[in-house]
Amino acid sequence: MATGRTHRPATRSRGIPEATVARLPLYLRALTALSERSVPTVSSEELAAAAGVNSAKLRKDFSYLGSYGTRGVGYDVEYLVYQISRELGLTQDWPVVIVGIGNLGAALANYGGFASRGFRVAALIDADPAMAGKPVAGLPVRHTDELESIITENGVSIGVIATPAGAAQQVCDRLVAAGVTSILNFAPTVLSVPEGVDVRKVDLSIELQILAFHEQRKAGEESMPSAGQPRAEVRAPEGGKGPDGEIPAVMPA
Ligand SMILES: NC(=O)c1ccc[n+]([C@@H]2O[C@H](COP(=O)([O-])OP(=O)(O)OC[C@H]3O[C@@H](n4cnc5c(N)ncnc54)[C@H](O)[C@@H]3O)[C@@H](O)[C@H]2O)c1
């Protein structure tokens, strides 16, 4: 769902391509589900299907981790969960701040899935003085005046921006100046960041627009005259569909 824009090379220094890094969370999600069902091993085909990824690509991805599985047995689920978590840096706790505690920011703050994946919401920050001190998801909202001290005191390196688009760049600049080096941006605007700062953005309306494209194409196919008639070519967005008909809108190749 997120599109990334980083200043990093396509291959990280440890030799794992960015596209592989982007698929690791998909494998981890599928493996975690298997682990919760106490499944001990999984074949590359089964795991690829569960993650919505091609199995040859999965084997190539795992070779970067030095994980080749055992012929006839497959991959050890628990070990892969550990290995991928370690590779993604999830074996440590990441304090995160959310800036902009409106409809979206409050919903994100209330989402329990961050904590279970190693992301602790350290503080909720908003510019509205009327919100300061009000509890949201068990945390008092802090005023933006405190942004820099909150970042420093909590050792925060990841910031989430859920402000209106017009405020996002200024919030981003303050976060970066205070020491944040990774930003998840929900505001519908492109952020400028210095070298070494990673930005991922999430835009559900872009996902809906891609689905609308496919809906339109399906409707066009249904009303198409029989074979032999000329038809206009409609190109699918880059990436095409996944194995289960899923449209990987932003999955890197
Ligand atoms: N990415 C997505 O899929 C998606 C989905 C929904 C909303 N959004 C975007 O998320 C943002 C928030 O949407 P919302 O519905 O929660 O809006 P909202 O108006 O309910 O909340 C915005 C909050 O940001 C605060 N704010 C404004 N300027 C600020 C600043 N400089 N510093 C700190 N806080 C500030 C406001 O006081 C308010 O509490 C918008 O940009 C919206 O377009 C994105």
Span 17-61, pLDDT tens digits: 999 999 999 999 999 999 999 999 999 999 999 999 999 999 999
66: left (phi over 0), alpha (psi -120 to 50) or beta: left
Yes or no: domain 94-202 corresponds to CATH 3.40.50.720: yes
Residues 81-94: tens digit of each pLDDT: 999 999 998 888 89
Torsion of CA 12, 15, 18, 24, to 10 degrees: -120
Centre of ligand 1 to C-alpha 167, Å, is: 9
Q: Supply the pLDDT for residue 3.
A: 46
101 carries a ligand binding annotation: yes
Ligand 1 center from residue 104 Cα (angstroms): 6
pLDDT of 246 reads 53
Pocket of ligand 1 (CB under 6 A): 99-105, 125-128, 144, 162-165, 167, 170-171, 186-188, 202-204
For atom 7 of ligand 1, the residue with the nearest CA is 104
Residue of minimum CA distance from atom 25 in ligand 1: 100
Task: Say whether 103 counts as a known binding-site residue.
Answer: yes
The reply to whether ipTM tops 0.85 is yes
- Give every residue of the chain whose pLDDT is below 70, as ranges: 1-14, 224-253
What would the CATH number be for the domain defined by 2-87?
1.10.10.10
CA of 25 relative to ligand 1 center, distance in Å:
26
Task: Pinpoint the residues of the chain covered by CATH 3.40.50.720.
Answer: 94-202
Mapped to the 3 state alphabet, what secondary structure does 214-237 carry? HHHHHHHHHCCCCCCCCCCCCCCC
103 CA distance to ligand 1 middle (Å) = 7
CA of 101 relative to ligand 1 center, distance in Å? 7
**Residue 47 marked in a binding site:** no
- Sequence ranges of the chain with CATH classification 1.10.10.10: 2-87
DSSP label of 65:
T
Among the listed residues 11, 29, 28, the one whose alpha carbon sits nearest the alpha carbon of residue 20: 11
Instruction: Find the radius of gyration of the CA atoms of the chain.
Output: 21
Atom 6 in ligand 1: which residue has the minimum CA distance? Answer: 104
